[in-house]
A and B are shown apart, each in its own frame.
Chain A
């Protein structure tokens, strides 16, 4: 099964907002509200930022928000800060022989 489709890179200036898309199918993103987003700084442990499409774990800034429309999920980061520069990955529960699938990742550059 192919992974979820994310843009390879996005960029924005401090204070701006950006959105990262995550395109799947009706067998994963479109079929279930079990989309998550992870932030990964190179050399560090990945961090859960959003789960179940639009829920933030305790301690995650409210500048991070998630949404979904059809087969596409999105992560929006508002009021960009330098420390937001990282790689971001979406995941989804999937109706297949493997229960979870990752997106290819998006590198966020804060200009």
Chain B
């Protein structure tokens, strides 16, 4: 079964850091680019970051650029999001999503999400 499981969320103070993980199973993780998408309370989905196969290309939303770092460890079938200088507006459920397309248009497998709460 194709599966993504996020972990690492929790309560952190404003200005603090947190590292999210996403463990993949049921497919050849190294063959897929990956994304992080978040949903703030009462808001819609917001794309956060992308990492290509092999990790050579990364993109970030303007709202997190310079503060978040996406990475992957294909040997561990894992995706990561290092979140630094956290702000209250980063409070959200964070989802990892597999990208099966070539134009960022086929997020065909998602995790259940992990909640990040930033207290001010």
Contacts and interface: CB of A to CB of B under 8 A. Distances in A.
Interface of A: 1, 3, 32, 34-36, 38, 40, 44-48, 51-52, 57, 87, 89, 91-93, 97-105
B107 A46 contact: yes
A36 B103 CA distance: 10
Interface residues of B, number: 24
B67 interface: no
28 contacts: A1-B62, A34-B101, A38-B107, A44-B112, A45-B95, A46-B95, A46-B97, A46-B110, A48-B106, A48-B108, A51-B105, A52-B106, A89-B44, A92-B105, A93-B103, A93-B105, A98-B59, A98-B62, A99-B50, A99-B59, A99-B103, A99-B104, A100-B35, A100-B50, A100-B104, A100-B105, A102-B37, A102-B46
Contact of B62 (A51, A93, A97, A99): A97
Contact of B112 (A3, A45, A97, A101): A45
- Mostly, the B contact residues are strand
B45 interface: yes
